[in-house]
Structure 1
Amino acid sequence: MPLSSIEIIYIDSQILVVNKPTLLLSVPGRAEDNKDCLITRLQENGYPDALIVHRLDWETTGLMILARNPEAHRELSRQFQDREVKKGYTALCWGEPSANKGQIELPMRYDPPNKPRQIIDHIQGKYALTYWEKLECHPTYSRIKLMPYTGRSHQLRVHMQAIGHPLLGDPLYAHRLAFTAAPRLCLHASELSITHPTNKRRLNFKCPATF
């Protein structure tokens, strides 16, 4: 499969940073028709040593970092696990949050009857924390920056829905007006900061959203 629209942001002997397009899985799905994904395209088109470190949702675009050898993979995975990686997302949400910035601290868990949805659950949910900042306001929506402290599946989407500001174009969590307000999910991983696995320099990558 062709490399297609996967933009290479940075590359060296240890890491590969790319801009994932929308409607592309990070890793292969279980179904036979879900084999096309970012890691497969990279491995088949010049980067056979690429190793997945973290994931973005199918609809979400933006920065992903991949390791190029097992040692770099272990170190980057440790940084994610120890929350040393700083992530920033750009999003469009329905309405306007009342404050200029804040945090959402709501526990989450998988909702098996409604796969692949996640829900807020104060009893069985796992700890989840998101910081947010309002960037621009428009008549029906706002541009915001989202900074997850934890990395739960669908965390940003569920947290914004929980406070009454679902993300535009979200097929799982947005109400009808918010869903139809954009042709795709308006969530983009625009900032990523890691420590290089070998030279230990702090690297800060940026990739502006196109919405």
Structure 2
Amino acid sequence: MAMLSPLPVRDGVGATRLHLPLTGPWPTVGAFMAERFFHLEPERLLARFDRGEIVARDGTPLTRLTPLGEHEFVWYYREPPVERHIPFEVEVLHRDDDLVVVDKPHFLPTTPGGKYVQNSALVRLRNLLGLPELTPVHRLDRATAGLLMFAVRPEVRGAYQLMFERREVEKVYEAVSALPDGWDPAAPALDGHPFPLVYRNHIEKRRGHVCVRVDADRDPNSETLIELVAADERVLHTRLRPRSGKMHQLRVHLAALGAGILGDSFYPDLLPEAPDDHALPLQLLARELRFVDPLSGRRREFVTRRVLQEAPRTR
């Protein structure tokens, strides 16, 4: 069972829990935290004890002289980073007592982390809807737009997450790529495979790397059905039906077939880090979600209202 925080959600952000050693060379909790967070000025950190901002499991504030070993966990609010506002809004498509479904814009992360806290879909929605216990059921990459689901209450989140784990959710995406070399409109194909095609490979996430690794020597663990929507003299528009949920799967699969998604700075080549280019977001959209609701038994279907700006005009 998850350990409940003694501190409420504040400004849409939950408190952080820190596991303390019960023994060690530090005489106090404050001394341990000053070393643990060495990048902070020590007195600035210790002043947070004086203000009662670091608490034990029962909510009791610790002091800078609380001995190490009295508590195994403490909770505190992280000091918010200075954020640059992301000028795109999340749109609520559906809300009931159990579920919130939204259209997430490009560039907005699903959850807070790093330099994005208030500028995350979760925190914005908690504040907008007044739902401090709202939690994501699944995630989209920051660069990807489209449908995203949140559980209203912690006790229903597991049932919805289990649907994704069991692959009981039908997910449909769209992507726009530059027209591949050698494209033949009379016989449309990717890397010699006519549409519709199924692509498989083995994807693994590497610690400390922003890109995933493809291992050609291992059995496939990812699979995507790729369908042709349209093409013109500039671009290729495809519909993607992932049958697994590996990190960056759709981006990797299209890049491997010679149709890397427009706006992708990771695949097929990792480009140097640069500020977001709002003029050309990643042309990947989570378009549809279909499933049988595990709580009501009703068939659910959601479709995005967004479109990919680089898609061919004719369909």
Bigger radius of gyration: 2
1:100 aligns with 2:184: no
Contact 2:201 2:216 in 1 (8 A): yes
Amino acid at match of 2:252: V
Choose between structure 1 and 2: higher strand proportion. 1
Amino acid at match of 1:102: L
1:150 to 244, 248, 253: 244
User: Which range is displaced more, 198-207 or 41-50?
Assistant: 41-50
Match of 2:216 in 1: 122
1:141 aligns with 2:248: no
Match of 2:205 in 1: 110
TM-score of the superposition, structure 1-length normalised? 0.88
Mapped partners of 1:173, 1:76: distance in 2: 31
Mapped partners of 1:4, 1:183: distance in 2: 14
Amino acid at match of 2:260: P
1:85 aligns with 2:191: no
Higher relative contact order at CA 8 Å, sep ≥6: structure 1 or structure 2? 1
2:120 to 10, 20, 37: 37
Mapped partners of 1:140, 1:174: distance in 2: 19
Mapped partners of 2:281, 2:94: distance in 1: 26
> Structure 1: where are the runs of 5+ without partners?
none
**What SS does structure 2 have at the residue aligned with 1:49?**
coil
Match of 2:254 in 1: 160
Match of 2:33 in 1: none
1:174-185 to structure 2, matched below 5 A, reads 174=268, 183-185=280-282
Mapped partners of 2:259, 2:285: distance in 1: 16
Q: 1:24/1:153 Cα in 2 relative to 1: closer, same or farther (>3 Å)?
A: same
1:68 to 137, 148, 152: 152
1:23 aligns with 2:107: yes
1:141 Cα shift?
1.6
Mapped partners of 1:11, 1:42: distance in 2: 11
Contact 1:110 1:119 in 2 (8 A): yes
Contact 1:85 1:194 in 2 (8 A): yes
Give the % identical residues.
Answer: 29
Amino acid at match of 1:150: S
Match of 2:91 in 1: 7
Q: 1:54/1:125 Cα in 2 relative to 1: closer, same or farther (>3 Å)?
A: farther
Say how many residue pairs are matched: 204
TM-score of the superposition, structure 2-length normalised? 0.60
